[in-house]
Structure 1
Amino acid sequence: MKRIVGFFLILVSVFSFFSCEDEDDTVNEPYLIVKFKFDPNQVRLNNLGQPAVIPSSHAAQSPDFSKISAHYFELAPNAYTQLTQGTVLYHADETTQGGSVAIDFSKAVVVSEGEAFLKIPLSQVPQGSYEYVRVSLAYQEYTISVRNAGSDYLGKLASFVGYNTYITTHSIGNNSFPVNGNRLQGYWAFALNDFPYATSGQAPAGATTVPNPIAATSPIPPGSCVVTGKFAQNLVINGNETRDVVLTLSLSTNNSFEWQEVTTDGKYEPSIGENVVDMGLRGLMPSYVK
Structure 2
Amino acid sequence: MPTVRFACLLLLCAAVTLFSCTKDVSNNNGGPRLIFVFHFDSTQARLNNVGQPSPMPAGHAGQHPKFNTMSAHYLELAPGPLTALGAGAVLYRAPETAVGGSNAIDFSKAAFAGQDQEFYSLPLSQVAPGSYEWLRLSLAYQNYDIKYYVDTVISGIPIQGEFGGTVASFIGFNTYISSYKIKQQQLQVNGNRRQGYWGFETVINVLGQNYPLSSSGEAPAGATTVVNPLFATSPVPAGSCVVTAAFAPGKLVITGNETNDVKVQVSLSVNKSFEWEDRIPDGKWQPGKQEAVVDMGIRGMVPKVL
- TM-score, normalising length from structure 2? 0.83
**Higher relative contact order (CA closer than 8 Å, sequence separation 6+):** 2
**Cα offsets for 1:53-111 (capped at 9, x unmatched):** 22223322110111110010000001111111110000001111222211111110011
Q: Structure 2: 5+ residue runs without aligned partners?
A: 1-24, 152-159, 205-209
Residue of structure 1 aligned with 2:256, choices 227, 232, 239:
239
**1:208 matched to which residue of 2?**
224
Match of 2:303, SS state, is: strand
CA distance in 2, matches of 1:275, 1:168: 28
**1:190 matched to which residue of 2?**
200
Give the letter aligned to residue 236 of structure 1.
Answer: V
**2:234 matched to which residue of 1?**
218
The answer on whether the counterparts of 1:76 and 1:134 sit within 8 Å (CA) in structure 2 is: yes
CA distance in 1, matches of 2:30, 2:87: 30
The answer on whether the counterparts of 2:267 and 2:303 sit within 8 Å (CA) in structure 1 is: yes
Q: Which moved more, 1:53-62 or 1:66-75?
A: 53-62
Give the letter aligned to residue 71 of structure 2.
Answer: S
Residue of structure 1 aligned with 2:269, choices 252, 272, 276:
252
CA distance in 2, matches of 1:122, 1:288: 17
Give the letter aligned to residue 77 of structure 1.
Answer: P
Match of 1:285, SS state, is: coil
**1:81 matched to which residue of 2?**
83
Match of 1:123, SS state, is: helix
CA distance in 1, matches of 2:268, 2:225: 13
**1:97 matched to which residue of 2?**
99
Match of 2:288, SS state, is: helix
**2:149 matched to which residue of 1?**
147
**2:189 matched to which residue of 1?**
179
The yes-or-no answer on 1:71 pairing with 2:73 is yes
Seen in structure 2, the aligned counterparts of structure 1 residues 58 and 99 have a Cα distance that, compared at 3 Å, is farther
Give the letter aligned to residue 191 of structure 1.
Answer: E
The answer on whether the counterparts of 1:129 and 1:237 sit within 8 Å (CA) in structure 2 is: yes
Who wins on radius of gyration, i.e. which is larger?
A: 1
Q: Which moved more, 1:32-41 or 1:149-158?
A: 149-158
Q: CA deviation at 1:24?
A: 3.8
Match of 2:285, SS state, is: coil
Matched length: 267
Give the letter aligned to residue 257 of structure 2.
Answer: N
Q: Which moved more, 1:108-117 or 1:237-246?
A: 108-117
**1:286 matched to which residue of 2?**
303
**Cα offsets for 1:137-182 (capped at 9, x unmatched):** 0111111001122421011111211111111111123211111111
**2:47 matched to which residue of 1?**
45
**Cα offsets for 1:235-275 (capped at 9, x unmatched):** 00011100000011000001111223333332222223332
Give the letter aligned to residue 154 of structure 1.
Answer: G
- TM-score, normalising length from structure 1? 0.87
RMSD over aligned CA atoms reads 1.7
Q: Structure 1: 5+ residue runs without aligned partners?
A: 1-22
Q: Percent identity?
A: 53
- Of Structure 1 and Structure 2, which has the larger fraction of its residues in helix? 1
Seen in structure 2, the aligned counterparts of structure 1 residues 111 and 193 have a Cα distance that, compared at 3 Å, is farther
